[in-house]
Chains A and B, each alone.
Chain A
């Protein structure tokens, strides 16, 4: 069965420091992988996605993620964190189920706190 694990429930970094959020997945075929961000009181917003090709993908807000098939990982990175990046980040994998479904499986999320 498809699953997503985000090992870190909560991460704290200082503003200007680099960031890496971990994501491991279990999927029976070549996955589509996604990172979403949720600011407090808001819905989720798509940061970036990987379908195929270059394993390093760029997203919005200066984020990037690298797909490593051998490690079943899709870690999110940012070279220099801004206070506005404080939010919860969700990794997702899909599609799953039969019939060309577009459904995703989401991880439990990593909450990011940014210290001034």
Chain B
């Protein structure tokens, strides 16, 4: 059963620490999305890759966030330094290029103290 795998599932850290979240997209999918979910803002798109190339990261705070795809099986989202307002659930989703047909991982719940 193909699925998107995210690690860690839960992360508690202190303000100022670096946080790295990882995502393994479904094999063969060529698009990867990072979303952030909070009660106040709902689902926000942070970054979007196609064929490992970043297409859009306009939703991402550039000063502290970075997203990369070192290879086709790994996407990373890094926050450095982390702040309490970064506390949220971060979702990775992958797709095969069909508009809107995304497969989401179970998310990484981040708490920054």
Interface of A (DSSP majority class): loop
Chain A CB within 8 A of B91 CB: yes
**Which of B4, B55, B100 has the most chain A CB within a 10 Å cutoff?**
B100
Residues A34-58 near B (CB distance < 8 A): 34, 41-46, 49, 51
Chain A binder among B11-19, B40-48, B64-72, B78-86: B40-48
**Segment of A12-20, A68-76, A79-87, A101-109 in the binding face:** A101-109
Task: Count residues of B near A (Cβ-Cβ below 8 Å).
Answer: 24
- A26 and B31 CA atoms in complex are apart in Å by 25
**Nearest 4 A-B pairs (CB), nearest first?**
A43-B104, A106-B43, A108-B42, A44-B104
Chain B residues with a Cβ under 8 A of chain A: 4, 31, 33, 42-43, 45, 48, 50, 55-56, 91, 93, 95, 97-107
16 further A-B pairs in the complex, CB-CB below 8 A; given A41-B106, A102-B97, A109-B43? A34-B100, A42-B106, A42-B107, A43-B105, A44-B102, A46-B100, A46-B103, A92-B100, A94-B100, A95-B100, A102-B48, A102-B50, A102-B95, A102-B98, A102-B99, A109-B42
